[in-house]
Copies of this chain bind each other. A is one copy, B any other.
Amino acid sequence: MAQATARAHSNIALIKYWGKRDSSLNLPAVGSISVTLDALHTTTSVHFSSEWPTDRVELNQAPADEKTTQRVSRFLDIIRQNAHIDERALVSSANNFPTAAGLASSASAFAALSLAASTAAGLSASPAQLSEWARRGSGSAARSIFGGFVEMHKGQRADGRDAIAEPLAAADFWDVRIVIAITSEQAKQTGSTGGMEQSKNSSVYYPAWVDTAEEDLSAMRNALLQKDFTRVGELSEYSCLKMHALALSGQPGLLYWNGVTMDVMHAVRNLRRQGIEAYFTIDAGPQVKVLCLPEHQNTVEEALQQIPGVLRLITTRPGTGAHLLGEKA
């Protein structure tokens, strides 16, 4: 058997993914469109060996907890099944950003794991196949296989073979900036999966969320095709608030934001009133990602830095897809 090391970048959805049509295969109820983030990445090594009795997982140089180890082990089962192997693995994974705080660590983690594990298992998978596997680990991970702007299809098939991501080539090499305002380093109280299930089961707005998703995807595809930054920003902010509205309307309502999150949202809208095109988007956590054009990056950074409670900023641009850093037999 072999070892392989891969890196994948995090991503943020501009048109949000929220809700699963099938929990066991992790099939999304709606499609989504994201941008892969250059500055946030996970590097993962996988080493299969017959010497080891169980899978072992290290996260950021420490042993992972049992729940995480089981989740990774179940994921490796998919790879083992495809590669017709039975060896256990040592998985070592490290993020260069805070884990589980709404920066989509599971997206980059399972994209990197998908590539590293399949390569170590001797498979040479297509990006589409990697995306399908990554989705089994985490819905948003399917998008992190690709760089730039990426669309995730909800798919129609019961087996999920068509629930995969693909790059939106028209928006390739579009230099936009994403300024991430970190407002809390704590892990969130309700993860995405639990939050999605709660919205599906208890929000009266859920059917409308699912029924209107295609309109938002279509509008964003067109905006990206035209590189219409204003429209991309407006649609991103709209989809973000529409998703959080869905979460808030559950029983009990989910509050992913903190006070600083809210202050940043108002600051972004104040920038727009001053003629600076900036738009926010927020995943299932308190961090705010602000989209702007390169010429406004400094102004946006200065405005966000002044907000009390903003711990730090990470400014980035569209990043590359998952790639191998090394492999050996």
Contacts and interface: CB of A to CB of B under 8 A. Distances in A.
Interface of A: 204-205, 207-209, 211-212, 234, 237-238, 241-242, 244-246, 248-249, 251-253, 255, 257-263, 265-266, 269, 309
Contact of A238 (B245, B252, B261): B252
A215 to B, nearest CB: 8
Given A205-B245, A208-B204, A253 B238 contact: yes
Contact of A255 (B207, B234, B253, B265): B265
Contacts of A269: 255
B266 A251 contact: no
Interface of A is mostly: helix
Contacts of A252: 234, 237-238
Give the 10 A-B residue pairs with the shortest CB-CB distance, closest first: A259-B259, A245-B245, A241-B253, A259-B263, A245-B249, A205-B205, A245-B248, A259-B262, A204-B212, A241-B248
Contacts of A237: 252-253
A262 B253 contact: no
A305 to B, nearest CB: 16
24 contacts: A204-B212, A204-B242, A205-B209, A205-B249, A207-B208, A237-B252, A238-B251, A238-B253, A242-B253, A244-B245, A245-B246, A245-B248, A245-B253, A255-B262, A255-B265, A257-B262, A258-B259, A258-B263, A258-B266, A259-B260, A259-B262, A259-B263, A259-B266, A262-B262
Contacts of A262: 255, 257-259, 261-262
B266 A255 contact: yes
Contacts of A241: 248-249, 253
A258 B207 CA distance: 29
Contacts of A244: 245, 248
Contacts of A238: 251-253
Nearest to A242: B249
Given A238-B251, A241-B253, A259-B266, 4 more contacts: A242-B249, A255-B269, A257-B262, A259-B261
A104 to B, nearest CB: 22
Contacts of A248: 241-242, 244-245, 248
A312 to B, nearest CB: 18
Most B CB atoms within 10 A — which of A204, A212, A234? A204
A262 B260 CA distance: 9
A186 to B, nearest CB: 12
Contacts of A207: 208
Most B CB atoms within 10 A — which of A211, A248, A251, A255? A248
A189 to B, nearest CB: 9
Nearest to A205: B205
A99 to B, nearest CB: 22
A259 B288 CA distance: 13
A258 B260 CA distance: 9
Contacts of A212: 204
A244 B247 CA distance: 11
